[in-house]
Amino acid sequence: MEGIALIASFALTLMILSYLLGDNPLYRLAVYTLIGLTAGFITIVTVESVLIPWFESTVLTGQPINIGIGLIPVLFGVLLLFKTSPRLGQAGNLALAFLVGVGAAVALVGIVTGTLIPLTLTIGDAFTGNLLNTLIVFIGVITSLIYFQYALVRKTPQGTVERTPLMKTLGGIGFGFIITTLGALYAAAILTSLTILIERIGFWLTQLTGG
């Protein structure tokens, strides 16, 4: 069994790497296999870990209250399926609205309590530590927010609308911070990709040499 898995993983890796030669059926086969297996596994896990336990604890209990509680999400799920139809799509708006509303509320609470407040407190505490780092962080945050701010604008004699010089300057500094961040993210993404490639090569060599 391990031998089969080894051969299959080796073959699939080569098929993925064949994309260097251009789009070809081998690459597509590997991608479809990955997507199909992932989708199938997620479906099975969702059904076994979420749906079946839910039904067993609500609808299948036989108690009216539990049945009612259990049918509500089922009803919402069925309504969501109507979104696939252009004509009947409006039927799923209620369920979608409920989902979006709850998700937004949870996310909002989490953002406030888990990001905004802790970050604000952290910046406040940072003044007691490395002041330079704190100052750079503060300037970066403020100028990055200003970069996306277009409220303070004025009209030029030519009739065009532009921001004031001060806002332009601060926005430019924020743009620099943003570009630096994006560059760092891009470099990190390359590192991640390279790491994955090397891990694959190490895996092959491990299998080939027996460790």
Partner 1 sequence: MGNDFDNDDLSWLRRPNDQDDDSNQDEQPDLDWLIGDQGNAPKQRDEKRLGVTGELPWLRDRDSDDQGVTSEEDLNFDWMSDPTSEPKQGEQRRLGVTGQLNWLQDPTEATEEAPQVNARKSAIEEQIEAAERAAGVNRNIETPNFDDEETSALPSWLQGAEADPEDDLTLDDAPEFNFEDLVSENPDWLPTPTATNTPVESFNFDDLDVAETPDWLRVDRASTDDDDFFNDLFGDQADEVDLFAGQSSGTGLTGLLNADDVLDESDEAALAPSGTGLTGLLNPDASTELDSDFDLFKDFGDPASEDEEPSFDDFDWSFSEDQLETPSPVQPVRSSSSMDELDDLGWLESLEAAPVTASSSKTPPKADSIDVDSFLASLGTGSGNEIIPQVDFDDLANTIDFEDLFNDDFDQLQSPQEETPLPLAPDWLANVSVGEVSASAIVRKQQDRPLEDLSDRLLALREEGLNLNPTETVENDLALANLIPDLTDALPPAPIQPGTLSITNQLKLTPEQIKNAQLLAGIASLAGDAIGVEALRESVAKPRPRLRLQLKIGRLLIAVVVLIAVILPFFGIGQIGELPPGLFPTNSPEQRVFDQIDRLQPGQLVLFAAEYGATSAGDLNTVSDVLLNHIVLRGARPVIVSTNPIGVLLASERVTRITGLTPNTDYYIGGYIAGESIGLRDFSENLRQLTSNDLQGQSTGLALNSLDDFALIVVVAERLESARNWAEQIAPITNVPITMGISYSASPLIMPYLNAGIDGVIIGYEDAFTYSVLLEGLEGVDRPTEEATASETPTVETPILATPIVETPTLATPIAETPTATPIPTLASPTAQPTTIATGESIATATVDAIIIIATEEVTPTLTPENTVIPPSPTPIPPTPTDAATETFARVNASQAVNVREGAGLGFRPVGSVQPGERVLVLEANSDQTWYRVRLANDLEGWILGTLLDFEDDSTNWDDEGQTVYISFIRQSPPTSTPAPIASAPELIPYREERWYAMTLGISVIVLIIAVVNIFNLIRRGR
Cβ atoms of residues 26 and 11 within 8 Å: no
Question: Closer CB to partner 1, residue 163 or residue 204?
Answer: 204
3-state secondary structure (DSSP) of residue 154: strand
**DSSP one-letter string for 167-190:** HHHHHHHHHHHHHHHHHHHHHHHH
Our finding on whether 1 is near partner 1 (CB under 8 A) is no
3-state secondary structure (DSSP) of residue 47: helix
Our finding on whether 36 is near partner 1 (CB under 8 A) is no
**Closest distance between partner 1 and the C-beta of residue 174, in Å?**
16
Applying CB under 8 A, among 61, 115, 167, 177 the residue interacting with partner 1 is 115
Q: Give the x/- contact pattern for partner 1 in 149-178, rule: CB under 8 A.
A: ------------------------------
**Closest distance between partner 1 and the C-beta of residue 157, in Å?**
35
> How many CB atoms within 10 Å of residue 169?
13
Our finding on whether 190 is near partner 1 (CB under 8 A) is yes
Our finding on whether 42 is near partner 1 (CB under 8 A) is yes
Applying CB under 8 A, among 25, 36, 68, 172 the residue interacting with partner 1 is 25
87-95, 147-155, 171-179, 198-206 -> range binding partner 1 (CB under 8 A): 198-206
**Closest distance between partner 1 and the C-beta of residue 93, in Å?**
19
64-72, 80-88, 154-162, 187-195 -> range binding partner 1 (CB under 8 A): 187-195
Nearest to 56 by CA among 44, 65, 66: 66
b/e map 46-63, b = 16+ CB within 10 Å: eeeeeeeeeeeebbeeee
Our finding on whether 201 is near partner 1 (CB under 8 A) is yes
Looking at residue 163, the DSSP 8-state letter turns out to be E
Quick one: tokens of 209?
A: 């040499």
CA gap 43, 62 in Å, rounded: 26
Our finding on whether 133 is near partner 1 (CB under 8 A) is no
